[in-house]
Amino acid sequence: MPALNATQPPFGLMQDWPLTVDRVLEHARVNHGHREIVSRSVEGPIVRETYADLYARARQVSTALLEDNVQPGDRIATLAWNGARHMELWFGAMGIGAVLHTVNPRLFPEQIAWIINDAGDTHLFFDLTFLPIVEQLAEKCPAVRRWVLMTDEAHAPPAGKIPNLAIYESFIAGKSRDVTWGNFDERTAAGLCYTSGTTGNPKGVLYSHRSNVLHSLTSLQRDSLGFSVDDVIMPIVPLFHANAWGITFSAPAVGAKLVMPGSKMDGPSIYELMDAEKVTFSAAVPTVWLMLKQYLEETGKKLPHLDRIVVAGSAVPEAILRSYEDDYGVKVFHAWGMTEMSPLGSMGATTPEFREQGKDAVQRNKLKQGRPSFGVEMKIVDDNGNELPRDGKTTGHLVVRGPAIAGAYFKNAGGNILDKDGYFDTGDVAHICPLGYMQITDRAKDVIKSGGEWISSIDIENIAVGHPAVANAAAIGLAHPKWDERPLLVIELKPGQSASREDILGFLTGKIAKWWMPDDVAFVEKIPLGATGKLNKLQLRQTFRGYTWPEQAVAAR
Ligand code: ADP
């Protein structure tokens, strides 16, 4: 082949257009400049800003950071709800090559301090809600040289315990918008998010500009999030939880209107904003959908504008899926992913094979975690890394590969995390059917192993929460004299409801294999949840360690 390009043979002759996230917002400004981001501000009022405004203010953030001596690669942390100011920080920091580090405010202050210090954050921007936490953090995080309260002077507190405190609106006021964005390698670090680390210390996942852009393109496929300019999107999933599933990039990429719920995450507030702004799409973990469903049932309200929702973070219970689809006419998509995957891995779009079998088959199939979009490779392997068949029965370790999947943790925590073929072990246990639908049966660390066989705690929990008196359920494996481990089902009842052990076990009978039947049921006031709203099974296992099984349960097996 003749030389095509002076630099290296044999390259194609297309333009070099680095995949950096500033181009997403540039696109939104030029093509969708008037579309809105509507935020419920922490101060109270609903605030409206356009993509053009967001672009302008994000550039002021960039200048303010540069004038405060922020260098490429510096980590800029946020403790903030979903709102336009938070997005200004994302693009303002990433645009100049700094790393936007979203910190989960639901963690304990000691964990937050540990994460901020591990990340080496130089700046921390926080919402008014978190002032009390930041007052505790300030002396524990000496490397943070600027604390910025995300409000205006009118809402600023009297001078307090926080050194080097700035007020956001004054910090960016009058700053130049004439700043250079991008212009660096697309592999440059853009964002940092720590996994909640139910075992050991949290680990940082360091996203690049390229991975963020490719993840957005992947998620915009119609069988994934499939956004359109016609959508009004409410990310209830927080920006601090794995990039709000990438919505901060994918929504501006298509010019969809954004509606940000701020700090008010209760049923009435979410409903009110959804209804007023005519939200068509929303994304959240199952507990949020459960809460909204309870509110709808109490008030008799409907969801006339909402077209589809994505449920992910933990498995969608059948009762939620059927209720939203059948009672409220909302299409439910079940997704699976993890912080390390930017985070989307699979989505439960329906293939023609299931559509032909009718609604019941479609809905049952939607309980699976779905199929990967282009951009994610997945397979299941045995303990030795050998690929297992896609027969819908054989379970194994779920491993993944792709351009928006972590290749290592921040500061190389945990060492090498890829196998010889470059696959990352998700820590989930799953099977994959011949049509490509993956179903998670457990997290490897939560697996219940009875007599050498795995019992799916997720299946048991999902059926149990279908019982009308049950608010939440967790199945955990506890030591058993004969079978190594047997399942204990821990139940949190809805307020004012009652149910007995026999009621619950009777409800499960016929819905799960006999040998999966929990050996006992324990009722608790509240099932503990982790910082991302998931069942905290580690804590439950500790609470119930040394549990004495009922006599008949031991005898019967
Ligand atoms: P963390 O591990 O920090 O809680 P992630 O949000 O990254 O945070 O959690 C990823 C894990 O959440 C997955 O590995 C999986 O175990 C679980 N998960 C996510 N979505 C689903 C789902 N739809 N069904 C079952 N489990 C899920």
Give per-residue pLDDT as tens, 233-255.
999 999 999 889 999 999 999 99
Question: pLDDT category, 552, cuts 50, 70, 90?
Answer: low
- Residues 266-313 have pLDDT tens digits of 999 999 999 999 999 999 998 899 899 999 999 999 999 999 999 998
Is the pLDDT at 60 greater than 70? The verdict is yes
Is the pLDDT at 509 greater than 70? The verdict is yes
Q: Is any ligand 1 atom within 6 A of the Cβ of residue 32? A: no
Sign (positive or negative) of CA dihedral 449, 453, 458, 460: negative
Is the pLDDT at 458 greater than 60? The verdict is yes
Q: Cα Rg for the chain, rounded, in angstroms?
A: 24
SS3 22: helix
Q: For the residues 488-506, what does the mean pLDDT come to?
A: 94
Question: pLDDT category, 199, cuts 50, 70, 90?
Answer: low
Query: Looking at ligand 1, which residue's alpha carbon is closest to its atom 24?
Result: 315
- Count Cβ atoms within 10 A of the Cβ of residue 206 and give its class: 0-12 exposed, 13-18 middle, 19 or more buried: buried
Rounded Cα distance, 367 and 369, in Å = 6
Q: Is any ligand 1 atom within 6 A of the Cβ of residue 532? A: yes
Q: For the residues 51-80, what does the mean pLDDT come to?
A: 98
For residue 298 the two structure tokens come to 């109490």
Written as one string, the DSSP assignment of 62-82 is HHHHHHTT--TT-EEEEE--B
Residue indicated by tokens 């995080």: 141
User: How many angstroms separate the alpha carbon of residue 338 from the centre of ligand 1?
Assistant: 5
The closest-lying atom of ligand 1 relative to the alpha carbon of residue 534 is 4
Look at 219 and 550; give whichever has higher pLDDT. 219
Look at 232 and 242; give whichever has higher pLDDT. 232
Q: Is any ligand 1 atom within 6 A of the Cβ of residue 195? A: yes
Is the pLDDT at 185 greater than 70? The verdict is yes
- The alpha helices in 202-317, defined as continuous H runs, are 209-219, 247-254, 267-276, 286-299
Nearest to 104 by CA among 82, 84, 83, 120: 82
Question: pLDDT category, 161, cuts 50, 70, 90?
Answer: confident
Question: pLDDT category, 194, cuts 50, 70, 90?
Answer: very high
Rounded Cα distance, 461 and 504, in Å = 11
Question: pLDDT category, 459, cuts 50, 70, 90?
Answer: confident
Range from 332-341, 423-432, 522-531 carrying the lowest mean pLDDT: 522-531
Is the pLDDT at 377 greater than 80? The verdict is yes
Rounded Cα distance, 245 and 215, in Å = 9
Question: pLDDT category, 7, cuts 50, 70, 90?
Answer: confident
Q: For the residues 124-129, what does the mean pLDDT come to?
A: 97
The closest-lying atom of ligand 1 relative to the alpha carbon of residue 338 is 7
Question: pLDDT category, 163, cuts 50, 70, 90?
Answer: confident
User: Could you tell me if 92 and 248 are in contact, meaning their C-beta atoms sit under 8 angstroms apart?
Assistant: no
Nearest to 252 by CA among 227, 276, 222: 227
> Across the chain, what does the average pLDDT equal?
93
Question: What pLDDT, on the 0 to 100 scale, is given for residue 200?
Answer: 66
326 DSSP assignment: I
Is the pLDDT at 530 greater than 90? The verdict is no
